[in-house]
Amino acid sequence: MKKKEQRANNLLLLLQESPDLSVKNLAEILGVSEMTIRRDLKYLKENHLFIRSHGIQIPVQERADITNIETEYTLSSERTKSYKEKQKIGQFATTLIHPNDTLILDSGTTLAEMARFIPEHQNLSVTCYNYCTLTQLFQKEGVQITLAGGFLHRSDQMFESPYANELIRSQRANTFFLGASGIHEALGITCAHNYEVLTKKAAMSSSLTTVLLADSSKFGLVRSAFVAPLAGVDAIVTDEGITDEWKRIIKNAGIKLYVV
């Protein structure tokens, strides 16, 4: 899929969940100029993919099986899904850490599992923005913690605010460990809530390397909040349930794959 078509698909995803997003908001979330957003909106309209009603964009066609799980997602319910796989993924991810590293840990159940296994006494600096992850890190000696705080979303225990995003953008990290609710070849990496997007993007832009942690059930799924194209990550850690087709897709994208 061409870059323009992929971006238009991502724009369509955002409009499906939040049709009242302004051009400025859409540009910030997708990381492009407002002029580019206006061109893409024109492209969608010309291809009959959305209509305007009193200035609001209304999608009229889907290009993928998009599932909005915002109202049903809770950290407690997600922890029970693929628990053993998430545990293995989280434990392996800690082998990618080196002494004196500076890390950013995303929100999510797999990242909370990773936090449990992070080693002590290695002079690590870790920034996080999830209450469950924070509680896993709190007792570890030799781990300096920075909490990017703000409003606490109880469903997924994520802290979120513009101030937290600015804090993250002001930092520099060796590695950002990213979580996701959906991974699609064309429509990219997606999550359950729009409020997660800017925080994830801030962490990606502040890190030398982004490592995606996701169990194999997430591949092929599309959620309603777009984070980044698949090629936006440097490595993926997943479990043995991943298909050969997805292994091929990841290899062709030039992404390092770890299967545990």
Instruction: Say if residue 65's pLDDT is above 50.
Output: yes
User: In Å, what is the CA distance from 146 to each residue of 83, 125, 126?
Assistant: 27, 8, 6
Domain parsing of the chain, residue ranges: 3-63, 75-259
CA atoms of 35 and 29, how far apart (whole Å) = 14
Q: How far apart are CA 51 and CA 232, in angstroms?
A: 30
- Please tell me the predicted confidence (pLDDT) of residue 18: 65
- Tell me: pLDDT of 199 over 60: yes
Strands (E), 26-122: 50-53, 56-59, 66-67, 102-105
pLDDT at 62 over 60: no
Amino acid 174: pLDDT = 98
Mean pLDDT along residues 56-70: 49
Phi, psi angle pair for 139, to nearest 5°: -90, 0
What pLDDT score was predicted for residue 60?
45
- Rounded CA gap, 167 and 149, in Å? 9
Q: How confident is the model over 136-185, as pLDDT tens digits?
A: 999 999 999 999 999 999 989 999 999 999 999 999 999 999 999 999 99
pLDDT score at 239: 97
**Token representation of residue 179:** 């979580």
Asked if pLDDT for residue 77 goes beyond 80, the answer is no
Q: What are the tokens at 186?
A: 């064309």
CB atoms < 10 A from the CB of 124, how many? 22
Percent of the chain at pLDDT exceeding 90? 65
pLDDT band of residue 49 (cuts 50, 70, 90) is: low
CB atoms within 10 A of CB 120: 10
Confidence of residue 68 (pLDDT cuts 50, 70, 90): low
Q: Which residue has the tokens 């705080």?
A: 149
Single pTM value for the model: 0.74
* pLDDT value of position 78: 53
DSSP state of 130: B
Q: Look at residues 238, 169, 227, 236 and name the one whose alpha carbon lies nearest to residue 209.
A: 236
* Domain 75-259, CATH class in plain words: alpha beta
pLDDT score of 39? 87
Mean pLDDT of the chain: 86
In angstroms, rounded to a whole number, what is the distance separating the alpha carbons of residues 120 and 1?
Answer: 44
| 79 has a pLDDT exceeding 90 | no
Report the CATH number of the 3-63 domain.
1.10.10.10
Structure tokens at 181: 């609710």
Residue 119, pLDDT > 90, answer yes
Lowest-pLDDT choice from 27-41, 66-80, 143-157: 66-80
Q: Does the pLDDT at position 246 exceed 90?
A: yes
More confident residue, 173 or 73: 173
Dist CA 149 CA 260 (whole Å): 32
Closest by CA to 229, choosing from 25, 71, 57, 30, is 30
Q: Which of 181, 192, 128 is nearest to 155 (CA)?
A: 192
Neighbours of 3 (CB within 10 A): 8
